[in-house]
A and B are shown apart, each in its own frame.
Chain A
Amino acid sequence: MNSQIAERPMEILLVDDNPGDVRLTAEALRDGEVENRLHTAKDGMEAMAFLRRKGRYIDAPRPDLILLDLNMPRMNGRQVLAEIKEDSTLKHIPVVILTGSREMDDIVKTYDLHANCYVTKPIDFEQFIMMMKSITDFWLSIVKLPSEEN
């Protein structure tokens, strides 16, 4: 379907301050079918530096998908989302809000900021694996997105 798949692994940027969650996501992605490379940023500042290839991220790839937690120190997920969606060079990258919050407020606010979708981390690990598989399948092989070169 998507010609990108055969050529290179998908670049995924995970923005989350909890190492437990980062490892869990890594484990879930390892079981997935989409070949991928997981990059992590532990807060919004790091995420923006990665996306704008600042400092030690000078050679960072452009992610195909961003998994964004909401509650983080320094710069939270909402601020990162707002910056990405206001930046014409970044706004086409799909941003999936991946959080523990089920608050309607958080859901509404992030969609207002043009989040591509909002999912709540399930407590059950099997369900979490299933969910990560659905997310990567959908965003990395099913949907058609404008590529950077175009």
Chain B
Amino acid sequence: MKQMSKTSELIAKPEVMAGEIKQSRELFRILFHRSPIGTYIIQNGHFRLVNRQLAYILGYEEDELIGRPSLGFVLAEDRDAVRENAVRMLEGGCSLGYEFRIVTKQAKIKWVMETVAPVHYQRKRATLGSLIDVTERKQVEERLKQITGEMQRSNTELEQFAYVISHDLQEPLRMVSSYTQLLAKRYGNKLDSDADEFIAYAVDGAKRMQTLLHGLLDYSRVGTRGKPFSLVNCEHIVEQAMANLKIAIEESGASVSYDVLPTVMGDEGQLVQLFQNLIGNAIKFRREEPLQVHIWAGRRNSVVTFSVNDNGIGINPQHSQSIFEIFRRLHTREEYPGTGMGLAICKKIVERHGGHISVQSQPGQGSTFHFSVDMAGGESE
């Protein structure tokens, strides 16, 4: 009896069934016809069922689409790709939608994104498709791509410009400097003392300009002449930098020490130059007391941070940003020679390695330069 009554419950009464049919029709009407996503069923390459939104995107009436080959609305160049992507998606090879261009009834080209799934419709194999209009997003993307491209081009051009300028200016400069020297050599004692002084200033100016051009050339080379990244042992890098500074280290009596240093992805030559510039600066800006330089490193996720500490003259914190600008000098040439390019080159090298450089310092209390290398970022790709 109990079972009987359960079965009788399952056999729906006609009025209940009519209600349910009405309800599911309404649901179908909402989900299909009112959907903000173009939805359709394709069989044998032809539209069998389309919703209002698809018709709207394509610029047709719904009944105009029924029975028409669906690929006919795809821009001719995109048809092969659409066919391929659809097959791949139907076979379960990918789950992301694919994008292509369609041509509307009004001959307008729109970007759309489609996803498809295999279904059965009226007992036959069919494809259920959904499609959204992504024209606006695509336009923004295109514009962004264009802007990025333009920026990269102008950056490269700027680097090339700095490079060519600094390279090509050397030739005429060599003429100025050589011939003033030749003047001095041949006529030096035949002219008066004023003339000698003028010649000396001209020669000195030309030499200084050449030093500046070399600095600029080195700076632009960081971007234009960098080597691809590889795994480099930073203890070897520091040893190499110290070997290059051997004479300066010996003459200044500096002691340079380092903790265990990691292996990073980077441009070996540039990392040597980076440590060499920082240790070299420590030697140059040392105090009377024996110079001590210590280097250590720490790691957080993919970012390795190096620190180079010295007990030198230190830097006023108000200059802690500007010292990394090109040609920036805090001292007269008489006090400390140099072009003001060293730290600018350091900054450029660090940035190429996806990192940042900064300094912590107080006048008279030494300096600590921190810089990072991002193993995941930088230019390595």
The reply to whether B179 and A123 contact each other, CB–CB distance below 8 Å, is no
Determine if B185 is an interface residue (Cβ-Cβ < 8 Å): yes
Determine if B145 is an interface residue (Cβ-Cβ < 8 Å): no
The reply to whether B185 and A125 contact each other, CB–CB distance below 8 Å, is yes
The reply to whether B206 and A123 contact each other, CB–CB distance below 8 Å, is yes
Among B153-199, those with CB < 8 Å from A are: 167, 170-171, 173-175, 177-179, 181-182, 185
**Given A123-B177, A123-B207, is A27 in contact with B171 using a C-beta cutoff of 8 Å?**
no
Measured CA separation A24–B185 after assembly (Å): 13
The reply to whether B182 and A24 contact each other, CB–CB distance below 8 Å, is yes
The reply to whether B181 and A124 contact each other, CB–CB distance below 8 Å, is yes
Contacting residue for A123 out of B167, B174, B225, CB 8 A: B174
Among A96-115, those with CB < 8 Å from B are: 100-101, 103-104
Measured CA separation A147–B171 after assembly (Å): 36
Minimum distance in angstroms from A70 CB to a CB of chain B: 12
A-B contacts counted at CB < 8 A amount to 39
Determine if A121 is an interface residue (Cβ-Cβ < 8 Å): yes
Contacting residue for B178 out of A101, A104, A123, CB 8 A: A123
**Given A123-B206, A123-B210, A124-B207, is A24 in contact with B178 using a C-beta cutoff of 8 Å?**
yes
* Interface footprint category on A: 10 to 19
Measured CA separation A126–B203 after assembly (Å): 12
Main secondary structure of the interface of B (DSSP, over half): helix
What are the residues of chain A within 8 A of B225 when measuring CB–CB?
Answer: 104
What are the residues of chain A within 8 A of B167 when measuring CB–CB?
Answer: 101, 103
Among A74-120, those with CB < 8 Å from B are: 100-101, 103-104
What are the residues of chain B within 8 A of A123 when measuring CB–CB?
Answer: 170, 173-174, 177-178, 206-207, 210
Determine if A18 is an interface residue (Cβ-Cβ < 8 Å): yes
Among B197-245, those with CB < 8 Å from A are: 206-207, 210, 225
The reply to whether B174 and A100 contact each other, CB–CB distance below 8 Å, is yes
The reply to whether A20 and B181 contact each other, CB–CB distance below 8 Å, is no
Determine if A139 is an interface residue (Cβ-Cβ < 8 Å): no
The winner among B179, B181, B210 for most chain A CB atoms within 10 A is B181
Minimum distance in angstroms from B29 CB to a CB of chain A: 71
What are the residues of chain A within 8 A of B207 when measuring CB–CB?
Answer: 123-124
The proximity string for A residues 17-32 relative to B, scoring 1 for CB distances below 8 Å and 0 otherwise, is: 0101100100100000
Contacting residue for B179 out of A20, A104, A124, CB 8 A: A20
The reply to whether B181 and A126 contact each other, CB–CB distance below 8 Å, is yes
The reply to whether A128 and B178 contact each other, CB–CB distance below 8 Å, is yes
The reply to whether A124 and B182 contact each other, CB–CB distance below 8 Å, is no
What are the residues of chain A within 8 A of B185 when measuring CB–CB?
Answer: 125-126
**Given A123-B210, A124-B207, is A18 in contact with B182 using a C-beta cutoff of 8 Å?**
no
Given A21-B175, A123-B207, A125-B178, 14 more pairs with CB closer than 8 A: A20-B175, A20-B178, A24-B179, A27-B182, A100-B171, A103-B167, A104-B225, A121-B174, A123-B174, A123-B177, A123-B178, A124-B178, A124-B207, A126-B181
